[in-house]
Amino acid sequence: MSSSTPLASSGATLTTDVLIIGGGLVGGTLGCALAQHGIGAVVVDRDSQDHLLEDDYDGRSSAIAGACQRILQVVGIWEHMKPDVQPILDIRVTDSDSPFYLHYDHQDVGEEMGWMASNRTIRRGIFARSAELPNLTMLAPVSLVSLERTQDGVTAVLSDGSTVRAALVVAADGRRSQVRQMAGISITTLPYHQSGIVMTVWHEKDHQGIAHERFLASGPFAILPLPGGHHSSLVWTEKDSLIDSLLSLSPQEFHAELISRFGSFLGEVKVVSKVFAYPLTLQFADRYIDRRLALVGDAAHGMHPVAGQGMNYGLRDVAALVEVLVNAKRLGVDLGSTAILTDYQRWRRPDNMLMLGMTDGIVRLFSNDIKPLRLARTLGLAAVNRLPKLKVFFMKHAMGDVGKLPRLMRGESC
Amino acid sequence: MANATPSTALPEELAKFEAMADSWWDPEGKFKPLHQFNPERLRFIVRQAAARFGRDETADRPFEGLRLLDVGCGGGLLCEPLARLGFSVTGLDAAEKNIRIASLHAEKMGLAIDYRCDLVEKLAERGEQFDVVLTMEVVEHVDNVDLFLAACSHIVAPGGLLFGATMNRTLKSLAMAKIGAEYILRWLPRGTHDWRKFLKPSEFVGSLRASGLVVDTLKGMSFNPIAGTWSLTDDLSVNYLLSASRN
Ligand SMILES: Cc1cc2nc3c(=O)[nH]c(=O)nc-3n(C[C@H](O)[C@H](O)[C@H](O)COP(=O)(O)OP(=O)(O)OC[C@H]3O[C@@H](n4cnc5c(N)ncnc54)[C@H](O)[C@@H]3O)c2cc1C
Ligand SMILES: C[S@@+](CC[C@H](N)C(=O)[O-])C[C@H]1O[C@@H](n2cnc3c(N)ncnc32)[C@H](O)[C@@H]1O
């Protein structure tokens, strides 16, 4: 991956349109999307591309909604991921010991429900695409030393001694965004006191492209199909207080705990990756913009992974920001101007708040064992199943097809 | 033409703008409304100009090779974007300080714009011609409106376009633009506008027609206070803009 080119000579000055801090799933995609539309970008990440691609760096896989797949497609990243993705053909949602389950079948909407890909696959796709785009520069491992945002422009000094000048800086540096903190934008955090245990398992029987989401008393448990038929990614939510003891169990004991949740429907099951634990919190930034600054992805909103929407909503930010900036460029407007950034915030913030609220509601509704709530849930799931229109709406929503869609999400170039 | 023609400049109006000149480029400052509706009015200009001159709006510098004059350019809020789109831009303003601020800013942005402190009637006398002439939010601040618009019109080259924008003289515009924007929302310093100088669309159109231009499009520009956005509408009762051509 040679597009990662730390500047040889310190003291060099690079001039570009947009400086992106954070080259993760969201920042990397944004860089490619802008460059593809003729807007120059420099993407800075503190970790090297080789490090980000290591097995132990990120054990997660992501469910990619249909509308977001279209973004990756239009931007030219999907082409590089294609051999390593798994279509999700059916989603089965069950409540603990309830006889009913909610059954989302792709035949109801006539296309796959989404795709599964390991985060490594997505990152590899981003890096491969970025190497093809001449007006995109990826700088890593490099960090931010200082950032100045004035009425006239952005100037960043980087740890390799170089200086970048741009019209706009985008914070895509994740939940603990340094850029957001530097700008004094505060966040609201709601802890769930839950962690997500993530691992990849091998199973004897073919998963047939079916994803399972189980709402257990301790929290949601998801089995997500990976390419090849015999591997799945697990997201196992557990109370924080139990995480340490779970992770210090002997392999046999851990396996027994796993099977008691997973069941035996796929035959024999083996853990084949490192076991990762991610603390889960819901957080949202009070603003998405400041002078010549925009927040995207987890820097703006962190959600519970129950709905598998964190990256997807980050990609929606990307699609909206690209559209707003391409429109501005075609009017000759300064890409860092307040009027443009205000349009972006107005477009994205209500949508993200709605999703945060929905996932928060789901988690709270399902992560408890109060009897009347259990009954309501059971009836609710059964009712949704019997109302095809409502079900299609929920599916379309999970697939990212509701609301005013940016052009990239409709599979169109800007 | 024996005597010197009367000037279109009103010294007290120019003094008001000189006093605010430092805040031209502050998006939250005294010119906030201009910053807010800038993209929307640029969209109007770009669309009409692309159609008129057969240019592709999605190209990199679609208006390369065309000359544009912005009469009453202020800090250059329109000059800069239009220069980025390839126009060779001349910015004209009667207030010296505006021209200084505008030149300085263009230099910082790396844009080559020909800024001049002059009066449009002088350019007309010299027979200068431009493919596109803008005079946005200016007529309500000048003396001898008909003379001013005649000079702007004469400068439009055959086949060229003129864009104009101002505020209508209605009770609603008095309430919204004058009392609302200046006194209630405090967007604009008090006394920025003299409502009696606002121009009805019929007066604007009539004046251009008298100078041989044909008005092609007339649109309202309305503020939605709930969404906080400006958009083009068919409501001409407060802010409006128009395009006219010389055939
Ligand atoms: C257990 C779990 C499962 C999930 N499953 C799904 C799913 O199925 N589907 C889905 O859509 N989402 C899922 N998510 C959410 C998803 O992973 C995140 O929303 C997504 O990774 C956010 O991407 P990002 O690029 O905004 O941030 P990050 O992925 O956090 O990337 C930030 C990048 O910025 C760099 N960086 C950070 N600070 C600096 C700095 N100061 N200077 C330079 N670089 C910096 C980092 O090195 C990193 O590369 C899941 C999350 C969890 C915890
Ligand atoms: C409200 S501002 C509009 C600025 C700019 N056209 C815009 O819309 O962003 C009006 C401008 O007209 C200028 N002006 C007023 N009378 C003028 C005249 N007679 N000739 C040229 N400019 C004039 C003022 O100095 C001021 O900069």
Q: Provide the pLDDT for residue A3.
A: 44
- Predicted pLDDT at A392: 54
Q: How high does pLDDT run on average in chain A?
A: 85
**Band of the pLDDT at B174, cuts 50, 70, 90?**
confident
Q: Please provide the DSSP assignment of B144-189 as one string.
A: SHHHHHHHHHHTEEEEEEEEEEEE--SHHHIIIIIIIIIIIS--S-
Top-ranked range on mean pLDDT: pick from A3-17, A88-102, A371-385, B222-236: B222-236
Give the contacts of B165 (CB within 8 A, at least 6 positions apart): B41, B135, B136, B137, B221, B239, B240, B241, B242
Q: Whole-angstrom distance between the N-terminal and C-terminal Cα of chain A?
A: 28
H/E stretch holding A358 reads helix A338-366
Reported as a pLDDT band with limits 50, 70 and 90, residue B211 is very high
Q: A354: pLDDT confidence band, cut at 50, 70 and 90?
A: confident
Is the pLDDT score of A24 beyond 70? yes
Burial B122-143 (b: 16+ CB within 10 A, else e): ebbeeeebbbbbbbbbbbbbbe
Tens of pLDDT, residues B27-63 = 999 999 999 999 999 999 999 999 999 999 999 999 9
A86, A206 Cβ separation under 8 angstroms:
no
Q: Are B196 and B169 in contact (CB under 8 A)?
A: yes
What pLDDT is attached to residue A10?
61
Q: A179 CB less than 6 Å from ligand 1? A: no
A62 has which bridge partners? A117
**Per the domain annotation, does B193 fall within a domain?**
yes
Q: What is the pLDDT of residues A379-397, one digit of tens each?
A: 444 444 444 554 555 555 5
> Per the CB < 8 Å rule, is A338 touching B27?
yes
User: Could you tell me the pLDDT band of residue A364, with boundaries at 50, 70 and 90?
Assistant: low
> Residue B18 has what pLDDT?
94
Judged against a pLDDT cut of 70, whether residue A377 lies above it is answered with: no
Q: Are B81 and A332 within 8 A, CB to CB?
A: yes
Tell me which of A326, A333, A338 to substitute to probe the interface with B (most B C-beta atoms closer than 10 Å): A333
Q: Quote the pLDDT of residue A193.
A: 83
Say yes or no: CB of residue B37 within 6 Å of ligand 2. Answer: no
Please tell me if the CB atom of residue B221 comes closer than 6 angstroms to any atom of ligand 2: no
pLDDT at A368: 53
Secondary structure (3-state) at B24:
coil
Instruction: Look at residue B234 and tell me whether its pLDDT is greater than 90.
Output: yes
Local confidence band at A414 (pLDDT 50, 70, 90 cut-offs)? confident
Considering the domain boundaries, does residue B4 fall inside one? no
Q: Domain extents for chain A?
A: 13-188+281-405
**Range with lowest mean pLDDT among A89-93, A274-278, B141-145, B204-208:** A89-93
Q: Which ipTM score applies to this complex?
A: 0.92
Contact (CB, 8 A) for B108 and A152:
yes
Average pLDDT, integer, range A367-383: 48
Supply the pLDDT for residue A218. Answer: 75
Ligand 1 contacts CB of residue A303 (under 6 A): no
The kind and range of the H/E element at A380 are helix A371-386
The shortest C-alpha distance from B237 to chain A (Å) reads 24
Residue B63 lies in a domain: yes
Residue A184 has pLDDT above 70, yes or no: yes
B72 is in an annotated binding site: yes
Greater model confidence, B147 or B179: B147
Q: How far apart are the CA of B125 and the nearest CA of chain A, in angstroms?
A: 31
Number of domains present in the structure of chain B:
1
Question: CATH assignment of A13-188+281-405?
Answer: 3.50.50.60
Residue A382 is predicted with a pLDDT of 47
Burial of B65 from C-beta contacts in 10 A (0-12 / 13-18 / 19+)? exposed
pLDDT value of residue A213: 82
Interval A207-230: pLDDT, tens = 999 988 887 877 788 899 999 999
Hey, how many other C-beta atoms are within 10 angstroms of the C-beta on A209?
Answer: 17
Beta pairing partners, A102: A93
Instruction: Verify whether the Cβ–Cβ distance A331 to B227 is below 8 Å.
Output: no
Minimum mean pLDDT range among A246-250, A365-369, B194-198: A365-369
pLDDT band per the 50, 70, 90 thresholds, residue A95: low
Nearest to B7 by CA among B115, B151, B176: B151
pLDDT of residue A366: 55
Span B4-23, average pLDDT: 89
Helix (H) or strand (E) holding A282: strand A276-285
- The answer to whether residue B192 is domain-embedded is yes
Least CB–CB distance from A331: residue in B27, B43, B228:
B43
CA distance B208 to B204: 6
Query: Residues A264-287: pLDDT tens digits?
Result: 999 999 999 999 988 888 888 999
| pLDDT for the residue numbered B50 | 98
Greatest Cα-to-Cα distance within chain A, rounded to the nearest angstrom: 67
Residue A138: strand, helix, or coil: strand
Tell me, using a 6 A CB cutoff, whether residue A400 lines ligand 1. no
Q: Are B93 and B117 in contact (CB under 8 A)?
A: yes
Tell me, yes or no, whether B5 lies in a domain. Answer: no
Rounded mean pLDDT, A133-145: 97
Q: Among the atoms of ligand 1, which is closest to the Cα of residue A314?
A: 26
In which band, very low, low, confident or very high, does the pLDDT at A8 lie, cut at 50, 70 and 90? very low
**First-to-last CA distance in chain B?**
27
For ligand 2, is residue B31 a contact (CB within 6 Å)? no
CB contact under 8 A, A337 and B27: yes
Residues A362/A306, Cβ–Cβ less than 8 Å: yes
Which amino acid, residue A52? Answer: L
Residues of A in contact with B81 (CB under 8 A): 331-334
Rounded average pLDDT over B133-151: 96
> Nearest Cβ partner of A330 from B28, B58, B83?
B58
DSSP state of A401: -
Query: Ligand 1 mean position to A186 CA, how many Å?
Result: 19
Give, for ligand 2, the residue of B105, B136, B141 to mutate: max count of ligand atoms closer than 8 Å to Cβ.
B141
pLDDT of res. A373: 46
Whole-model pTM? 0.90
Does B237 map to a domain?
yes
* Residues ≥6 apart with Cβ < 8 Å to A323: A406, A407, A408, A414
- Could B229 and A346 be called an inter-chain contact, meaning their C-beta atoms sit closer than 8 Å? yes
Higher pLDDT, B109 or A401: B109
Which domain range does residue B143 map to? 11-245
Residue A97, Ramachandran bin (φ over 0: left; ψ between -120 and 50: alpha; else beta): left
Q: What is the CATH number of the domain that holds B171?
A: 3.40.50.150
Q: In this structure, which ligand is nearest to the CA of B137?
A: 2
Closest chain B C-alpha to A131 CA, distance in angstroms? 23
Position B159 confidence tier, pLDDT thresholds 50, 70, 90: very high
A305 CB within 6 A, ligand 1: yes
Q: Is the CB of B25 inside 8 Å of chain A's CB atoms? A: yes
- For residue A38, give the chain B residue with the closest CA: B60
Interface test with A, best of B48, B56, B85 (most A CBs within 10 A): B85
Q: How confident is the model at residue B93 (pLDDT cuts 50, 70, 90)?
A: very high
CA of A249 to the centre of ligand 2 (A): 76
Q: Are B191 and B16 in contact (CB under 8 A)?
A: yes
Q: Tell me the average pLDDT across A123-152.
A: 97
The number of the ligand 2 atom at minimal distance from the alpha carbon of B165 is 8
Distance CA B162, CA B152 (A): 8
Residue B66 belongs to a domain: yes
- % of chain B beyond a pLDDT of 90: 81
Residue partners of A397: CB distance under 8 A and separation at least 6: none
Better pLDDT: A389 or A64:
A64
Of A151, A330, A346, nearest to B25 by CB-CB distance is A151
* Phi/psi-derived region of residue B75, left when phi > 0, alpha when psi is between -120 and 50, beta in every other case: alpha
Could you report the per-residue pLDDT of A107-125, keeping only the tens digit for each? 665 567 789 999 999 999 9
**If you average pLDDT over residues A367-385, what whole number do you get?**
48
Distance, C-alpha A244 to centroid of its chain: 26
Please answer whether residues A352 and A324 qualify as being in contact, where contact means their C-beta atoms are separated by less than 8 angstroms. no
